[in-house]
Structure 1
Amino acid sequence: MADQLRILVTNDDGVDAPGIKLLEKIARKISDDVWVVAPAGNQSGVGHKFTLGTELSLDQRDSQVFAIEGTPADCVVIGMTHVLKDKPADIVLSGVNRGQNIADIIHCSGTAAGAREGVLHGALGIALSQSMDFSNEQMIGWECAERHGEAAIRSIIENGAGKDVYYNVNFPRCAADEVTGIELVPHQRFSEAAFEYYPSDNDGKFFVTILKTPSPLDADADCVRLLEHNAVTVTPVRMQQSDFDAINDLQGKLSLDQ
């Protein structure tokens, strides 16, 4: 396996973030052919944004490590179509993100976008995140991702079905030996939007943030299984987002005649 798989590693926390250093280390246990193309700085929450109409440059940090003043999606595009154009990566690993990417948050996650863009280029895309307590942002432990990351990735490589999905993996915020197992779960669909306005202490300024987790929560979805049951959660996410039931239900009903 080591001499066959080419792996591209990216993230949204930046090329110097501890999570991507950990993921590169894990990737090198799986393959001898590992490349890193990641944002030069923090790009958290940018989703699947591209830096269009702006010149970018590629900063080579090491023989197989590159940084771009752009987004995770930019990085995967450049990695697959320029850096590795002669032999594009078989697998795109995105992360390990600082903090969980679960529920509807995956729609704005740059980590998820890195894996998703990888699938669009024909690779197996896996996004990985280490859960943390955001009430104390100075405290995050990487033990679960470090201990269980390789096994989780290998399991998906060996058993993942098809290339029209990407896999969203989250590691719980507990001691590595307290992990209850790996579970395939849907992502939590919140009952209402999670992000909202929050005033700053500075006059006239404000933040967009998550003040509370919308409820109720599905006992079988990623939020509860990760945060309350200490499971490593894996969510396969479809690339084809069309609602075929709605297409069938509305067929022949829409009209431009008034």
Structure 2
Amino acid sequence: MKNILLVNDDGPFSEGVEKLKERFENNGFSVFVFVPHQEMSACSHSLTLTKPLHVKEIKKNYFIVDGTPSDCTYLALFHFLKEIKIDYVVSGVNRGYNMGEDVFYSGTVAGAMEGFFHGINGIAVSAKDFSNIDKIVTHFVDFFKKLIDDKLPSPFLLNINYPEGDIKGIKFTSLSSRLYPGNVEECVDPRGVTSYWIGGVPAVWNGEENSDINAVKQGYVSITPLKADITDDSLLEKLR
């Protein structure tokens, strides 16, 4: 029986993590859930080093952490589950796509990548919303069962995004480009204090034919293998 560490960045009781946990367990997997105490979208791969972390087990093998998704994975692997061999770190299902440059901002991807850093297979799973969540978790767990039988080089890191509505199939993709136009909204609260909101402007997409965004737009599941080495090899050669 495979042991799965299930994390997310949507916080506790997200429909995505709850339904995925249930589907995994119904298929005979052992699941341990470690999730942040609140939504931690766009927290990237941050670890909390400036304050102590608190962890509460709210039900059997289900823990809430007052930290980031990376904190959740780290605490689980090196303290709470250190006597258990975790085979996979699965992060999601996240509400909101993680494609293109989003993989650098994403807490969902970071939760899976933290396991990858320590030699454990990591999979990040996202969707635009949960309108077809039952189809998503059924499809993903079926794919997952095939994946673990295929003896891929380990560790691996996959970033998976699901389309809306019906699922036509799977495409193996590269990252697109998803840039957010720079936007800061200034506002003043009732006490006269000025504050600032970052974002709020729709992203601009640019993707080649085999990119994640094109696959999802066409109704396919996008699966993009990632790695930690982001060295620009062509520039490196020019610098040398």
Match for residue 138 of structure 2?
147
Tell me the CA shift for residue 130 of structure 1.
1.6
Match for residue 221 of structure 1?
211
Residue 164 of structure 1 contacts residue 239 of structure 1 at CA under 8 Å; is this kept in 2?
Answer: no
Match for residue 237 of structure 1?
226
**Distance in 2 separating the partners of 1:217 and 1:234:** 15
Tell me the CA shift for residue 13 of structure 1.
0.4
SS at match of 1:22: helix
Letter in 2 for 1:90: D
**1:199 counterpart (151, 173, 185):** 185
Tell me the CA shift for residue 74 of structure 1.
0.3
Match for residue 171 of structure 2?
183
Matched, 1:168 2:168: no
SS at match of 2:183: strand
Matches within 5 A, 1:109-148: 109-132=106-129, 140-148=131-139
CA RMSD in angstroms, aligned pairs only = 2.1
Matches within 5 A, 1:31-180: 31-132=28-129, 140-159=131-150, 161-174=152-165, 178-180=166-168
**Distance in 1 separating the partners of 2:96 and 2:177:** 19
**Distance in 2 separating the partners of 1:79 and 1:16:** 18
Tell me the CA shift for residue 106 of structure 1.
1.2
**Distance in 1 separating the partners of 2:24 and 2:222:** 19
SS at match of 2:138: helix
Structure 1's unaligned 5+ residue stretches are 133-138, 252-258
Residue 184 of structure 1 contacts residue 235 of structure 1 at CA under 8 Å; is this kept in 2?
Answer: yes
Tell me the CA shift for residue 224 of structure 1.
1.7
**Distance in 1 separating the partners of 2:105 and 2:114:** 14
**Distance in 2 separating the partners of 1:146 and 1:215:** 26
Match for residue 136 of structure 1?
none
Tell me the CA shift for residue 62 of structure 1.
1.4
Residue 88 of structure 2 contacts residue 121 of structure 2 at CA under 8 Å; is this kept in 1?
Answer: yes
Q: 1:200 to 1:140 in 2, by over 3 A?
A: farther
Tell me the CA shift for residue 41 of structure 1.
1.2
Structure 2's unaligned 5+ residue stretches are none
Q: 1:30 to 1:244 in 2, by over 3 A?
A: farther
**What percent identity do the matched residue pairs reach?**
26
**Distance in 1 separating the partners of 2:205 and 2:96:** 20
Residue 7 of structure 1 contacts residue 31 of structure 1 at CA under 8 Å; is this kept in 2?
Answer: no
Worse-superposed segment, 101-110 or 147-156? 147-156
Letter in 1 for 2:56: D
Residue 126 of structure 2 contacts residue 161 of structure 2 at CA under 8 Å; is this kept in 1?
Answer: yes
**Distance in 2 separating the partners of 1:58 and 1:216:** 41
Would you say how many aligned residue pairs link Structure 1 and Structure 2? Answer: 236
Tell me the CA shift for residue 233 of structure 1.
0.8
